[in-house]
Structure 1
Amino acid sequence: MADPLTQIVGLLQPGAPFFKCVTGSGPWQVRRTQSPNPYYVAVLKGSLRYLGRRGDEVVVRGGDFILIPSAEDFVMVSEAPSTPRDMVVEPVVLPGGGYRVGSVDGPIDMRALVGYCIFQSEDATLLSSLLPEVVVVRGEYRLAMLMQLLGEEAMSSKPGREVVLQHLLEVLLIEALRSSAELGAMPGLLRGLSDDRLAVAIRGIHASPGRDWTVAQLAREAALSRSGFHERFHSAVGMTPMEYLTAWRLAIAKNLLRKGDISVGEVARHVGYRSTSAFSVAFTRDVGISPTRFAREGMSSVAPTSAEHFEGAIA
């Protein structure tokens, strides 16, 4: 049976990360308002606090790992009481490498590995919106080992460095997501997969995206009534079963068209459309351009409405 999480991370095509060691002393604050790239912090010593744009707060202690898949606007704050006057505009670059926030001369009370990566897929916004807004992993030995390997590889100049970084990062993302213990009530793919009944239906969709699925068929896969399955799926994942099916088919179709290995008609049949014309109409409605033009030009002219199907997954 297909593994939905592995498929989604694979389609995201995570690229080599920016990586640095940061130490902190006393009060400090750092705000991130960059483009929506996944941002991560592995705390090696001390602690810090994550403040999200919706007012959520998470304390991240030594040995913890926090991943923000869409790092559009958040603040990292020292455990020591701080004010906006302690906001760091530019961290101090240390002579031996690394960066310092807070007092330059004070004793180090926080040390962390910090970085962000870039999703190379042009469909990254669409796909990453299925992931939780914040993932926190505490006390996971496997993840700590991966972070150490990632850091060592990022600092090296060995042949094949970029390939190794890409694969390490992909494993890191999967490990962090499946190890997450603080998903709470946030709807999304992971919450759906944590429900044994819904997981069967989701894996069925990913294993056979071209099957002529109906809500009733998916409900039977999950051993639930049609209405019960529909309500449970929408509550957990943040969208209806048919919205999820359509959005996943669209993501697969875009990936296949971008590769250009098969014809539009073959893509249509692969993702469950009985005719090329029906697929073309549906694709054009959701994406804003025809599949033929998309295959030729890529996503440079794609309308932003294509990501709207996934909005509920990150509420």
Structure 2
Amino acid sequence: MRPGDPLSEVLDLVDVRGVISGGSAVSGAWVSPELDMSGALKFMAVVRGGMRVHAAGLSGPVELTAGDVAVLNHRDRVVLESITPRGLPRRVIDEVDVDDDVVALFGSAQDADDIMVGGHVDLNPAGHALLAPVLPPVAHVRASAPAATGVRRILDRLFEELLAERVGSSFAIRQYGQLFVLELLRAYMHQTDLPPGWLRVSIDEQLRPTLALMHGEPARRPSVDELARAASMSRTSFAERFRAVAGMPPVAYMSRWRMLHAQRALRDSDIGVGALASHLGYASESAFSTAFKREIGESPLRFRQRQRRAIAGRHSSGGGSA
């Protein structure tokens, strides 16, 4: 990882993964059944043609054309339809599961009017808490935006893999799904006025030196004066700017950052709670447990047990999180 790359550091901690999970290749006038996407962050990318996205809570449909992507933020009652004159009768299409026969579907329908690829953004609970609040109900990333060239490039390579059926295609599709989400975030951040939060602070050039101090050693607690000096700002100006960009004071941000490390360690390793408390700079296991419960809502041990049960449940069912 490039030193001082706050976005990469956060994405690593919240385990962001892009999972390609469906698609359609159809011609003529069509409409989907009503879809419930309230349980996850879903994305839909148009490879060819276009479609309209209707979702509960929107003032009107979002129209996507080739290269456009929509990220649906926990939406229910979603309906997709072709961009054709509204008076034409529309046939109902079904979703297609990538794990079944989406490659064969695309391979046999390369000349279809409308080709779409869909999937979801897989995150751990901390990631959902960070990402969902800063995204609108439907985030529309337009292919025409200067920052979206990477989205189109990855989308083309992804579709090429879906069609080629080459050795290693499944692995390549997973990797392109990962890069696709990164390019989506990059494009979205540069075409939109972001609300205060971790996405906005992670791309703020003036605050980058302070994030390097905050992220570098979770056990270290640099003072606000030290952070202000790193940003070449006065203490007051720094505190005001950081709060306006991050949506919280610097001390609260550092506490949140330590808790992200704690959640990942409790979920993915066998480190003891006392050792973890020391690693994160807490004076005692009790002080860490109190801070963790205040921030997360349950004790470290209960959090670990619940996460392990959830992981075991997903593995036993043969699937990932949606």
Same fold (TM over 0.5): yes
Which residue matches 1:61?
A: 65
**C-alpha RMSD over aligned residues:** 3.8
Q: 1:45 to 1:13 in 2, by over 3 A?
A: closer
| Structure-2 separation of matches of 1:272 and 1:64 | 45
What pairs with 1:19-30 in structure 2 (closer than 5 Å)? Answer: 19-23=22-26, 25-26=28-29, 28=31
Whole-Å Cα distance in 2 between the matches of residues 296 and 192 of structure 1? 32
Give 1:20 deviation, angstroms: 1.2
Q: Residue 138 of structure 1 aligns with which residue?
A: 143
In percent, how many aligned pairs have the same letter?
Answer: 27
Equivalent residues in 2 for 1:7-22 (5 A)?
Answer: 7-10=9-12, 11-14=14-17, 16-22=19-25
Number of matched residues?
A: 290
Structure 2 residue 260 is the aligned partner of structure 1 residue 251 = yes
Q: Distance in 1 between matches of 2:60 and 2:214?
A: 33
In structure 1, the residue matched to 2:319 is none
1:4 counterpart (2, 6, 19): 6
CA distance in 2 between partners of 1:228 and 1:64 (Å): 39
1:114-263 alignment runs, 5 A limit: 114-117=117-120, 119=122, 121-129=124-132, 132-133=135-136, 134=139, 136-139=141-144, 140-153=148-161, 163-180=171-188, 181-263=190-272
Residue of structure 1 equivalent to 2:99? none
TM-score normalized with structure 1 length? 0.72
What's the counterpart of residue 116 of structure 2? 113
Q: Matched residues in 2 for 1:163 and 1:55: separation? A: 39
8 Å CA contact 1:233–1:241 kept in 2: the answer is yes
SS of the aligned residue for 1:114 comes to strand
- State the distance in 1 between where 2:134 and 2:243 align: 15
Distance 1:79 1:201, change over 3 A: farther
Say if 1:97 and 1:161 are closer, same or farther in 2 by CA, change over 3 A. Answer: closer
Runs of 5+ unmatched residues, structure 1: 99-106, 302-315
Greater helix percent: which structure?
2
Cα deviation, residue 211, structure 1: 1.7
Q: 1:122 and 1:194 mapped to 2: Cα distance?
A: 23
- 2: CA distance between counterparts of 1:89 and 1:194? 42
Task: Name stretches of at least 5 consecutive residues in structure 2 with no aligned partner.
Answer: 97-101, 311-322
Q: Which moved more, 1:141-150 or 1:171-180?
A: 141-150
Deviation string 1:195-238 (CA, Å, 9 cap, x unpaired) is 32133333432233322134443333223333333333333333
Q: TM-score, normalised by structure 2?
A: 0.71
The answer (yes or no) to whether the contact 2:24–2:95 under 8 Å persists in 1 is no
